[in-house]
Chains A and B, each alone.
Chain A
């Protein structure tokens, strides 16, 4: 077990096989290379930095919210994340809030290879995907 310090959740004991490496970090936070996923509830997770107690993103699995969502992974990303089996891919989208409500970043999803514990935020080329896609059916 690894102990990671967090501002929001105190000290957490995380199994080493649940620590994800982000070799190039996350844009804006390139120093943070290791993260852990902490389940909140109902398809909402915290992506908590293992080496920065204060850094965490709220993420969700986008395909259940947007069934038509799709993007192409470049060969470079496939190679960086050592993807050999698409079954081990996990895709998450970072949540944010703007004046219209809660949004998810579909333009730059978090892509994780669960078999190799490697992850990256991928800036997709598809301009139809929004950086701030409003969540469907929000409570008003």
Chain B
């Protein structure tokens, strides 16, 4: 992992297309601005990991196990 130090308002360029800017440093947090191509989704990692895990679980679901719950409205 590359580790480098930046001050507020300074930017890191990743290749030609991605820029990561340090906007603000507070007490225990850093606010970051990211410019990236639109087909490159940006997530908070813990949420992305949670979503991946949930999708993997959901992909194993079958109608049989869902059947008992599918009396959704009339």
Contact = CB atoms under 8 A, between A and B. Distances in A.
Range for the number of chain A residues in contact with chain B:
35 or more
B50 interface: yes
A96 B39 contact: no
A28 B38 contact: no
Nearest to A55: B59
Given A23-B39, A97-B61, A137-B72, A28 B52 contact: yes
Interface stretch (B2-10, B11-19, B20-28, B40-48): B40-48
A22 B30 CA distance: 32
A101 B72 contact: no
B59 to A, nearest CB: 6
Interface in A76-119: 76, 79-80, 94-97, 101-102, 105, 107-108
Nearest to B47: A123
A94 B47 contact: no
Contacts of B69: 97, 101-102, 135, 138-139
Interface in B26-66: 38-39, 41, 43, 47-48, 50-59, 61-63, 65-66
A94 B43 contact: no
B1 interface: no
Interface of B: 38-39, 41, 43, 47-48, 50-59, 61-63, 65-66, 68-73
